[in-house]
């Protein structure tokens, strides 16, 4: 039934646990995994006075290095388990856009992702990428906590 799994990852411990679940899920279903992670651009507040901003080039390079390290962990874990896996690095202000687009482009059957379970003001202001994915995809989504 599920032959192609999309696994969004942000390199967090919760995402690492989701990776293990996705690998077991893939083994049960004989599926392949597409791991996706998103580079978000340097947030910029143009109206702030006397703000010290990091060098945008250095920031971008470090973020990309971190994102690639997270993807490499997924690739290594899948390889060790004998599960076919590919990695995709996307770029967007809103990660859910890349997640949904990648799932469509790669013809995935299911999205398996971790939820950080934000509550209160964090949820109100930061939102939930998981909720946004659920709202913008027609695919089944398995949410792990």
pLDDT at 126: 46
pLDDT at 59: 84
Which residue ranges form the domains of the chain, and what is each CATH number?
Answer: 4-42+54-144 (3.40.50.620)
Per-residue pLDDT of 25-56, as tens digits, reads 999 999 999 999 999 887 665 655 556 666 77
Per-residue pLDDT of 132-143, as tens digits, reads 999 999 999 999
Query: How far is residue 47's CA from residue 44's CA, in Å, rounded to a whole number?
Result: 9
Q: What is the pTM of this model?
A: 0.87
Degrees to nearest 5, angle at CA 33 with 31 and 36: 160
């Amino acid at each position: 039934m599920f032959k192609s799994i999309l696994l969004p990852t942000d390199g967090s411990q919760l995402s690492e646990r989701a990776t293990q679940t996705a690998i077991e899920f893939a083994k049960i279903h004989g599926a392949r995994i597409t791991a996706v992670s998103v580079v978000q651009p340097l947030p910029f507040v143009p109206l702030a006075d006397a703000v010290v901003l990091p060098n945008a080039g250095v920031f971008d390079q470090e973020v990309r290095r971190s994102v690639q390290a997270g993807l490499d962990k997924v690739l290594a874990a899948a390889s060790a388990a004998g599960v076919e896996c590919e990695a995709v690095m996307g770029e967007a202000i809103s990660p859910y856009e890349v997640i949904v687009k990648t799932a469509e482009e790669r013809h995935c059957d299911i999205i398996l992702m971790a939820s950080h379970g934000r509550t209160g003001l964090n949820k109100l202001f930061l939102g939930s990428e998981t909720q946004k994915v659920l709202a913008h995809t027609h695919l089944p989504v398995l949410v792990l906590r």
